[in-house]
Structure 1
């Protein structure tokens, strides 16, 4: 691909190819960053729901541990 007759044109072509590659990489990085931000929001929402469910479960478990007093049935 090198052009021994015009090294300046060859350098310009290589620089243009590098600039194009960098532009594609910048776009990809931006897209990945946006996706990561969205996924982090989902993780935070799920964490909040898990905390609420854990608290609710512990309350239910606490209430279920309180067993009624053992008494004799009326037919004894």
Structure 2
């Protein structure tokens, strides 16, 4: 294997690592945003449950106004 071949492989691997690093950083940001949204939704739903005004109708359960 020549020095040129090794240098080409190193350049390719370096680029692959940079691409993977960018992907991981982007996914980390997205996971953080989604985690905050889930926490906000859980907090909102807990408030609705505490007020007695929230809830999802499941199956053939009738809503409270019936």
1:37 to 18, 25, 41: 25
**Equivalent position SS for 1:55:** helix
State the Cα RMSD in Å.
Answer: 1.4
* 1:28 and 2:37 matched: no
Moved over 6 A (4+): none
Larger RCO of the pair (alpha carbons < 8 Å, separation 6+)? 2
- The runs of 5 or more residues in structure 1 that have no matched partner are 1-12, 66-76
Name structure 2 gaps, 5 residues minimum: 54-66
Q: Secondary structure at the match of 2:6?
A: helix
TM-score, with length taken from structure 1: 0.66
Matched positions, count: 53
Give 1:15 deviation, angstroms.
Answer: 1.4
**TM-score, normalised by the number of residues in structure 2:** 0.75
